[in-house]
Structure 1
Amino acid sequence: MSDIPDLESRTVPEDHHDLRLWLRMLTCCNLIESDIRTRLRTEYQTTLPRFDLMAQLLRVPGGMKMSELSQHMMVTNGNITGITDQLEREGLVERVKVATDRRSSLIRLTSKGKRTFKKMAQSHEQWVQSMFSGVSEKSRAALFEALGELKLVTQARMARRDTRA
């Protein structure tokens, strides 16, 4: 663990409660993501973006265009190209030309890619479960409900803002 204080620890009791709550949520997300990144790197010699790209492809067995992957993962086409090139060199994905558009290719997992991803996904699920195992079932259920409420309220506020723009 780093000696750099997390975002929440930088607050003081006088800070607004909602700000402290936001920073606590962000700190928890950052800690969990950092742990997952470390485990992927040490146990599978891979990165979270590579894992995420493979997860997208597993959901669409026929494959996806680079632009679709870019939209789903909310990163640039350049990022997708770089990750795809690496995965293709390792035999985990393949590019398949689209018959109706010679300029486009579909990216899809190879058999090796599917097997590799399924092992990683199983480990990923176990890691996440272990991270939450110290929190009571009642607290996890309450947190899930509270975050669901926050999600709905935030989406509604954003939708109202978009209609005014």
Structure 2
Amino acid sequence: MNMHDVPFTATLADAPDLESRVVSSDHQDIRLWLRLLSCTTFIENEIRSRLRSEFQTTLPRFDLMAQLQHESGGMKMSDLSRRMMVTNGNITGIADQLEKDGLVERTKLDTDRRSSLIRLTPKGRKLYQKISQAHESWIRTLFASLSKNSHQKLYEQLGELKTMARLFSHIPEMTN
């Protein structure tokens, strides 16, 4: 039996997590942060594993293709790196691989020969659709055991946390 045969809920529930190493005297905020980190790590590792075994691809390649899927005219490489929150070098490396596989094409911009526009090829769009359907199925399976109410509450609470995290990231560090 491998991890793909086990429901997400059983896999996540049975796996050791970061917050279990925290002693009870630790602050609840740290425990919550570690719980979020554990969930993210478990889910991301499983998605990475499934992408690798079922589609021989990586999460960064899938993420890049997902961004391009929504931009039929293509995107500038610099805009793509900003949207994905990675360096231009990372985007270039991934784009090189995808271009070699015939999944994306790059063209120089007439207005700025230093910039490239990248877009999915028909082959890339077809593969993205196939991977995207599987990805959505995996995520649905993951959340299937949550009640509709729990799902909605979690979504709203994480939305609040996301807003607070964005605000926090713009607050200068306090010094004594």
TM norm structure 2: 0.84
Query: Structure 1 156/101 Cα, relative in aligned 2: closer, same or farther at 3 Å?
Result: closer
Q: How big is the shift at 1:102?
A: 2.3
Aligned to 1:29: 40
Q: How big is the shift at 1:133?
A: 0.8
Aligned to 2:25: 14
Equivalent residue letter for 1:71: R
Equivalent residue letter for 2:34: L
How many angstroms apart in 1 are the aligned matches of 2:77 and 2:159? 31
Question: Secondary structure of the equivalent of 1:86?
Answer: helix
Q: Find 2:49's aligned residue among 38, 56, 74.
A: 38
Aligned to 1:119: 130
Give identity over the alignment, percent.
60
**Over residues 111-147 of structure 1, what are the superposed CA-to-partner deviations in whole Å (9 max), with x where a residue is unaligned?**
0100100111111111011011122222111111211
Aligned to 1:71: 82
Question: Secondary structure of the equivalent of 1:102?
Answer: coil
**Over residues 133-164 of structure 1, what are the superposed CA-to-partner deviations in whole Å (9 max), with x where a residue is unaligned?**
122222111111211222233334444x25x9
Query: Structure 1 19/61 Cα, relative in aligned 2: closer, same or farther at 3 Å?
Result: same
How many angstroms apart in 1 are the aligned matches of 2:26 and 2:53? 38
How many angstroms apart in 1 are the aligned matches of 2:63 and 2:165? 25
How many angstroms apart in 2 are the aligned matches of 1:104 and 1:25? 38
TM norm structure 1: 0.89
Aligned to 1:60: 71
User: Which segments of 5 or more consecutive residues in structure 1 lack a partner in the other structure?
Assistant: none
Matched, 1:147 2:129: no
User: Which segments of 5 or more consecutive residues in structure 2 lack a partner in the other structure?
Assistant: 4-14
Question: Secondary structure of the equivalent of 1:124?
Answer: helix
How many angstroms apart in 2 are the aligned matches of 1:116 and 1:146? 34
Question: Secondary structure of the equivalent of 2:115?
Answer: strand
Root-mean-square deviation (Å):
2.1
Aligned to 1:104: 115
